[in-house]
Each structure stands twice: as C-alpha cells, then as structure tokens.
C-alpha cells in the first residue's frame, strides 16, 4: 500500500471515530423523548438498510449489472449473519444494557479496550496477524491513555458484575466482528457487506422486540427533532460510517483499524467541550498523548519496522 493511500485510510478512520464520538448527544436526546436503546438501534438500521439497498439497485441498473442479493455460498451467507449479530445486535444491546447496571466510566473503559482483545484474538486465529512486541506495547500504551482520558483523575471504579460482564460482552462481540469480516472482505464489495450487516442486524434484533414490545408512538416519531436525530444516526453514523469502516478494514486490516477505537473518548470529550462547554483537563491532554504514542507504535508493525 502506498503512503498516500495509507494516510487516506487512517484519515477516514479518524473521521469515522470522530462521528461516532459525537453520537452520544443525539442518542441521549432520543432517549429523553422516550425511545428505548433497542428501538433507536432498530430505526437506525432500518433507515440505513433501505437507503443502501435503493442506492445499490440504482447503481446496478445504471451499470446494467445484475444486483447481487445473496452471497456466493451458504457459508458466506452465515458469515454475514454472524457479522450482523456481532457487530450489530450483540454489540449495541450489550453496550446499552451495561449502562443500566454499571457506570458510564466502567462501560467506556471496558468497551474501548476492545482493540487489545481484537489484536489477541486475531493473532491467535490468523498467522498473518502477528502479535509483535511493538504492536502489543503500542496497544497497551493506548489502552492506558484511554483509561486516563475516561477516568479524568477520578481513579475510583464501582464494580458491578452484571454491568461489567455486559460491557465485556460488547467488547467480545466487536472482536468477533473483526474476526469474521476477514473471511469476506476481499470476496465481496464493501457496500454488499455493509448491507448484509444491516439486514442481519435487523433480523437478529427481532426476538428482542417480540419479547419486550418497546414501540414508540407515531406522534413522537413525527417530531422534527426526533426525525433529524434519527436521520443523522442512520445516514451518517450508521450508513456512511459502516461503509467507511469496512473499507478501512479492507485497506489496513482489522487490528490496525480497530486501534482507532482508542481515540473514541478523545473525540467525545472534544465534542462535549465544543457543544456542552465541558472543561478539558490536563488528564485529557496526557491521555491523548499516550493514545497517539501507542497508536504510532502499533502502526509501526504495518510499516515494516516492528519486531
């Protein structure tokens, strides 16, 4: 990969993480008006799936190429179902449910440590994802930096077995998503994979809705602010970001791409400072330096100077 293409891939990953870091505001506004976390997730994926499906149908018609609905084999179709289950339903449900039993700090610390788990899992399964000393050290340094940013000088954790296990479940789900996508990322287009993730994410969330029946009123969904927030979460945070994230995985690999998750708390705090006038502390600056240093060391493996 050329240095220019690699720079663009990292830039895209940074923009995606920055957008994901801002979604807490829009999600919180939807929670305030009465939408449940599961319903927000479902509505996001429904809108994103429809838009991506329509776009692909239009492109296929203009290029006069047949539209591919299914994968080439049932094994690949099952892999796509696994991607929708892990990267969609399990990740979002575990993360949101964890917030009901434990603090936001605990949840952030556990979920944002998923790059380290992803690196270990990928190295254990795939021989080409080597667990080099620089990659491991860089990931650990970034993980420490992320903890410094999230804790913000208040080094007190409130242990909650159920909540912490759910947060770890979200971490495991994302690691499995990174593991599974390697099987299909070079056999199918980025948009095809993303559309399948949305579809099977909706299919696998159905049992939850049948069990709990959390449906918002039509009047709430018709409100301008609700529609605006849902459109941002669907079109930008889901559709564009998932397509972009899967493309970056194709370019950089799952491990180097997932390392950008460490940057998520930084973008969240910057967004809160910009919109909500929250104070940026020295701990934020120290943690940011550690995260960037760790990411640089971890990325040195793919530049060919890792050991």
- Mean pLDDT score across all residues of the chain: 87
Given a cut of 70, is residue 100 above it in pLDDT? yes
Q: Return the residue matching tokens 């095809």.
A: 192
When pLDDT is cut at 50, 70 and 90, the band that residue 276 belongs to is low
Predicted confidence at residue 16, as pLDDT, reads 95
More confident residue, 250 or 270: 250
For 276, phi then psi, to 5°, come to -105, 5
Q: Which residues contact 7 (CB under 8 A, 6 or more apart)?
A: none
Predicted confidence at residue 307, as pLDDT, reads 45
Average pLDDT over residues 37-60: 94
Predicted confidence at residue 84, as pLDDT, reads 97
Tell me: the pLDDT tens digits for 140-192? Answer: 998 898 888 877 766 655 667 888 899 899 999 999 999 999 999 989 999 99
Q: What DSSP line would sit under the chain, residue for residue?
A: --HHHHHHHHHHHHHHHHHHHHHHHHHHHHHHTT--HHHHHHHHHHHHHHHHHHHHHHHHHHHT-----S-SSHHHHHHHHHHHIIIIIIHHHHHHHHHHHS-HHHHHHHHTTHHHHHHHHHHHH-TTS---HHHHHHHHHHHHHHHHHHHTT-------HHHHHHHHHHHHHHHHHHHHHTTTTTTS-HHHHHHHHHHHHHHHHHHHHHHH-----HHHHTSHHHHHHHHIIIIIIIIIHHHHHHHHHHHH-HHHHHGGGGGHHHHHHHHHHHHH-PPPPHHHHHHHHHHHHHHHHHHTTTTT---
Give the separation between CA 145 and CA 287, rounded to whole angstroms.
4
Which of these, 142, 85, 91, lies nearest to 113 by C-alpha position?
A: 142
Which of these, 39, 283, 118, 90, lies nearest to 201 by C-alpha position?
A: 90
Predicted confidence at residue 156, as pLDDT, reads 58
Predicted confidence at residue 306, as pLDDT, reads 47
Tell me: the pLDDT tens digits for 59-70? Answer: 999 998 889 999
When pLDDT is cut at 50, 70 and 90, the band that residue 105 belongs to is low
Give the separation between CA 240 and CA 52, rounded to whole angstroms.
9
Percentage above 70 pLDDT, the chain: 91
Q: Are 48 and 242 in contact (CB under 8 A)?
A: yes
When pLDDT is cut at 50, 70 and 90, the band that residue 224 belongs to is very high
């Amino acid at each position: 990969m050329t240095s220019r293409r690699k720079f663009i891939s990292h830039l895209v990953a940074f923009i995606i993480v920055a957008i994901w870091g801002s979604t807490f505001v829009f999600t919180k506004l939807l929670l305030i008006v009465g939408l449940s976390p599961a319903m927000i997730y479902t509505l996001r994926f429904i809108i994103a799936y429809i838009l991506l499906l329509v776009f692909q149908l239009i492109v296929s018609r203009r290029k006069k190429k047949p539209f591919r609905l299914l994968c080439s084999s049932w094994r690949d179709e099952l892999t796509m179902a696994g991607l929708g289950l892990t990267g969609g339903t399990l990740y979002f449900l575990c993360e949101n449910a964890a917030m009901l039993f434990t603090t936001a700090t605990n949840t952030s610390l556990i979920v944002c440590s998923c790059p380290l788990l992803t690196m270990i899992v990928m190295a254990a399964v795939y021989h080409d994802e080597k667990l080099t000393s620089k990659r491991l050290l860089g990931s650990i340094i970034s993980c420490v930096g992320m903890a410094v940013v999230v804790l913000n000088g208040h080094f007190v954790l409130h242990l909650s077995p159920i909540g912490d296990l759910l947060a770890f479940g979200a971490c495991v789900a994302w690691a499995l998503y990174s593991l599974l996508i390697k099987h299909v990322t070079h056999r199918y287009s980025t948009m095809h994979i993303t559309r399948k993730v949305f579809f099977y994410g909706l299919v696998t969330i159905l049992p939850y809705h049948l069990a709990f029946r959390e449906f918002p009123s039509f009047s709430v969904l018709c409100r301008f602010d609700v529609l605006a927030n849902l459109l941002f979460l669907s079109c930008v945070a889901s559709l564009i970001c998932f397509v972009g994230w899967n493309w970056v995985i194709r370019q950089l690999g799952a491990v180097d791409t997932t390392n950008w998750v460490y940057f998520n708390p930084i973008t969240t705090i910057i967004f809160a400072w910009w919109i909500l006038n929250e104070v940026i502390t020295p701990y934020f600056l120290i943690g940011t330096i550690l995260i960037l240093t760790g990411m640089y060391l971890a990325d040195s493996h793919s530049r060919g100077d890792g050991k």
